[in-house]
Structure 1
Amino acid sequence: MRKQRGARRKPMSEINVVPYIDVMLVLLVIFMVTAPLLYHGVDVDLPEITSEPIDQSDIDPVVVTVTGDGEYTVSIGIDPDEPVTPDELMDLVARVMRNNPQTPVMVRGDRNVAYGHVLTAMSSLRGAGVPQVGLMTRPPQE
């Protein structure tokens, strides 16, 4: 067998990485487009009140939302809002408070919701062992 002149084998250190870069860029674009679509929020028309802002802590708060039609959702840290019943709310928040009793708990209620729905949420939170509940508002627009 004869060797051909000029024919060289590529050493392993010369791997072509261009296809890998192309795949990485395509994946980056896909993640950039889909990431904003993954966050679902609940529209709540908060009442506008002039009040002092609360001190921010390093612990992500538990936010209980009472929507305009009286439904409850809960958001723990950066997790999106999950619909819950008052009993599920109490169980979920009780577990959070057992793990970290310093977790701040906030209630944001739609301005058009019946007062009884907000009181039901606050009663569930007190039953879960929350010592202090904050109410969320929006500063007045000028």
Structure 2
Amino acid sequence: MATAIFHRKRRKLKSEINVVPYIDVMLVLLIIFMVTAPLLTLSVNVDLPKSNARSVESKADPIIVTVDAEGRFFLKLKDSAVEPLAPETLEAKLRAFVSENKDVPVFLAAPKDASYQQVITATVLLQKAGVSKVGLMSQPGSNAR
């Protein structure tokens, strides 16, 4: 009898990585992040003004409303001196002045130790007086601490 010689083929070892399970895991993670990312955003939409960080250049002299640390209101019109006013008087004067001069810039100034409530009250007075745009004054080059 003839002896049958069976040759077994030797398989070469594969030196490649099967990446299919990794792709599956990455797709699942991608879906999880896509679903949860909008839920993590806790923000308020605010329409912030654009600024080039330059000083305001205006042909008209601005109106400056100031709130001091004690909560008193002051008004400086174009050529007049700074005068302390009651909130009702401030609103009436601003309404009369702004109705005649629609394009005049209005600025609100307050020291850093002023009451936040008084600054908000001043902005409400400006809004009631018909002022559509208010600029907030600050010291140039100072850092908030």
Q: TM-score, normalised by structure 2?
A: 0.60
Partner Cα distance (1:111, 1:85) in 2: 21
- Counterpart of 1:135 in structure 2 is 136
The one-letter amino acid paired with 1:130 is: V
- Against the structure 1 CA distance between its residues 110 and 140, is the aligned structure 2 distance closer, same or farther, given a 3 Å change threshold? same
- Counterpart of 1:90 in structure 2 is 91
Where do 5+ consecutive residues of structure 2 fail to align? 1-51
- Alignment length, in residue pairs? 92
Where do 5+ consecutive residues of structure 1 fail to align? 1-50
Deviation at 1:123, TM superposition (A): 0.3
Partner Cα distance (1:54, 1:132) in 2: 16
The one-letter amino acid paired with 1:135 is: L
The one-letter amino acid paired with 2:138 is: T
Identity %: 29
Deviation at 1:72, TM superposition (A): 0.5
Larger Rg: 2
1:37-93 deviation line (CA, Å, top 9, x unaligned): xxxxxxxxxxxxxx8134311111110010111111000013211001111111111
The one-letter amino acid paired with 1:103 is: V
The runs of 4+ residues in structure 1 deviating greater than 2 Å are: none
Highest relative contact order (Cα 8 Å, sep 6+), 1 or 2?
1
Partner Cα distance (1:57, 1:141) in 2: 23
Question: What does residue range 16-55 of structure 1 map to in structure 2 within 5 Å?
Answer: 52-55=53-56
